[in-house]
A and B are shown apart, each in its own frame.
Chain A
């Protein structure tokens, strides 16, 4: 199956050395992907059709009960809606916060640029769990934010944690480095000379930004948004720690069903639903890229 795909000529002309060489060069990654990705996904698909007893025992029967439940129970549609909505909000917030940082980074040079890059990447050196606990310390009722609010005379602490607000704040911060790196990668076509040309033709700064900079940076925006969205949909540690059991998302439900309720087939079914969401997101990204590219 893959061999036929791999041996098709790539780009405008077949590679030197012929299709055999191409297939040979691509074989290692294809095999790795088959073992590391396709096989587990197939396994999940099979698992989702297994019969499961109330106790969680899987004694070998087959059943479509979990798919029926996911298709007909409004709770799972709510989960899907919650997950997509929350992830879109997080993606948008991340984009708004990251864009100016990435733009500044793109324009800075030399040692200053290296230093800033290190600063941007450094949060990735810490595990998301540790950073989430950091947010718990900041957002709790006796935390930094509420202490400041209290100093300004707030009587009731703001509920910033163990709810959707906390999940949104935490995930936005955690995903910012990914967004900045993706934006930087997509800012390749941004050229200072183009902006200068627009300025010499009499465009005020904001117009230059809106009519020149933004359109040229759209591929970066699309890539960063896709990456952030996919990471937001699939993250479960941060929603688990900051959601306080009030926020129901696909990823947290997969965790609960597999680890707490021992309902592996349902967890597998929901995992496939998450994969479908990814597929749709990537298809949309492809279309958007065509229209802005």
Chain B
């Protein structure tokens, strides 16, 4: 009996009420991204889950970024407030190493057996809940014929109109990894040498390496015309802007960004939390969220509407450049240094 339930029972006894029946309202706290993700995830996954489980209420704890989430978890390590956390796989690795999460596998949750093989990681506690991928985004008024390849970023005609979230952002890192592979580069062990080189003709065109609040708004407004972003948000922004922005998987390739769902060690409501995670990974929830926000599903059994699946990376898996983010983390500082010394100055 934990302190809280003891206090509750004490109050109940003191007032002479009958003890609360088993299966009283439980609250699961889900920590995940704020903004667009929160709106869409609440509608597509959380509300249907609450409907199916009347005894469980879900509280959404929005955070700006995975790093902000890990900050919260570190601060609450002694008395966790969150039950479930959705965050980027590279940050989830740090959380795993710090013992913040419980290891999930198909013995704990049978649904995990239905996930794609690349949704499970031996040294990360959680499992993948969404796959996103890098896309080239462009303003449809500025490009009557859609650009097809990353070489468009280097076209002198687009000088001052290119927006790229640069290193240390993982969009910049992904771009370098893709270019490196395209040019037969050494990959992560060679610190993406060829990728850094390939940025030389692109850098002079770049308007900003830090588009704020995100890369999509300036492209929609026409302040910039072409850039790099994440597919899911690009697709939603394409719809909400009435098609002013469109996304394309470049010929050179794309790369995955993976969000994992984690069970917090010492979570206040572990059983209800497991129920929620199982639902989040179920074909039903995966289908609903893919059709709402165009993240590729991680459950192989999810039957997605054809129109939605065409707007994810599922049909372009041959173009996905595999990036081992855990290996990248080890050379990140050296790559960042090359970036600052050899790429940024060319854009000044």
Interface string of B72-99 (1 = CB under 8 A from A): 0010000000000000001101111110
The residues of A that contact B169 with a CB separation of less than 8 Å are 260
The residues of B that contact A54 with a CB separation of less than 8 Å are 326, 329-330, 332
Within 8 A of B (CB), among A191-247: 240-241, 243-246
User: B210 on the interface (CB 8 Å rule)?
Assistant: yes
Asked if B223 and A140 make an inter-chain contact with CB atoms under 8 angstroms apart, the answer reads: yes
| Residue from A54, A241, A245, A262 whose CB has the most chain B CB atoms within 10 Å | A245
Asked if B209 and A245 make an inter-chain contact with CB atoms under 8 angstroms apart, the answer reads: yes
User: B155 on the interface (CB 8 Å rule)?
Assistant: no
| Residue from B95, B210, B212, B340 whose CB has the most chain A CB atoms within 10 Å | B210
Interface size class of B (residues with CB under 8 A): 20 to 34
User: A2 on the interface (CB 8 Å rule)?
Assistant: no
User: B344 on the interface (CB 8 Å rule)?
Assistant: yes
Main secondary structure of the interface of A (DSSP, over half): loop
Listed from nearest, the 5 A-B pairs whose CB atoms lie closest are A245-B209, A57-B97, A244-B208, A57-B94, A245-B210
Main secondary structure of the interface of B (DSSP, over half): helix
User: A261 on the interface (CB 8 Å rule)?
Assistant: yes
Asked if B209 and A59 make an inter-chain contact with CB atoms under 8 angstroms apart, the answer reads: no
26 A-B residue pairs with CB within 8 Å: A53-B94, A54-B330, A54-B332, A55-B93, A55-B94, A56-B90, A56-B94, A57-B93, A57-B97, A57-B98, A75-B337, A141-B207, A141-B223, A157-B160, A159-B160, A162-B208, A241-B210, A244-B210, A245-B209, A246-B209, A248-B340, A256-B168, A259-B64, A259-B68, A260-B169, A261-B332
Within 8 A of B (CB), among A117-154: 140-142
| Residue from B68, B207, B212, B340 whose CB has the most chain A CB atoms within 10 Å | B212
User: A58 on the interface (CB 8 Å rule)?
Assistant: yes
The residues of B that contact A163 with a CB separation of less than 8 Å are 348
User: A7 on the interface (CB 8 Å rule)?
Assistant: no
Given contacts A54-B330, A56-B329, A141-B160, contact A258 B67 (CB under 8 A): yes
CB of A1 to closest CB in B, whole Å: 28
| Residue from B68, B168, B347 whose CB has the most chain A CB atoms within 10 Å | B168
The residues of B that contact A259 with a CB separation of less than 8 Å are 64-65, 67-68
The residues of A that contact B90 with a CB separation of less than 8 Å are 55-56
Within 8 A of B (CB), among A31-56: 53-56
Complex Cα distance, B97 from A157, in Å, reads: 50
The residues of B that contact A162 with a CB separation of less than 8 Å are 207-208
Number of interface residues of A (CB under 8 A): 28
Complex Cα distance, B65 from A253, in Å, reads: 17
Complex Cα distance, B93 from A248, in Å, reads: 28
Complex Cα distance, B74 from A292, in Å, reads: 49
The residues of B that contact A244 with a CB separation of less than 8 Å are 207-210
The residues of A that contact B74 with a CB separation of less than 8 Å are 58
Asked if A53 and B97 make an inter-chain contact with CB atoms under 8 angstroms apart, the answer reads: yes
Complex Cα distance, B325 from A55, in Å, reads: 9
Complex Cα distance, B50 from A155, in Å, reads: 59
Complex Cα distance, B165 from A260, in Å, reads: 12
| Residue from B70, B94, B347 whose CB has the most chain A CB atoms within 10 Å | B94
Given contacts A240-B210, A261-B168, contact A55 B67 (CB under 8 A): no
With A58-B74, A140-B223 given, name 10 new contacts (CB 8 A). Answer: A57-B97, A141-B223, A162-B208, A163-B348, A243-B210, A244-B210, A245-B208, A245-B210, A248-B340, A260-B169
Complex Cα distance, B209 from A241, in Å, reads: 10
In the complex, what residue of chain B is closest to A53 when comparing beta carbons? B97
The residues of B that contact A75 with a CB separation of less than 8 Å are 337, 340
User: B166 on the interface (CB 8 Å rule)?
Assistant: yes
The residues of B that contact A243 with a CB separation of less than 8 Å are 210
Interface string of B321-336 (1 = CB under 8 A from A): 0000010011010000
In the complex, what residue of chain A is closest to B159 when comparing beta carbons? A156
| Residue from A59, A142, A246, A248 whose CB has the most chain B CB atoms within 10 Å | A246
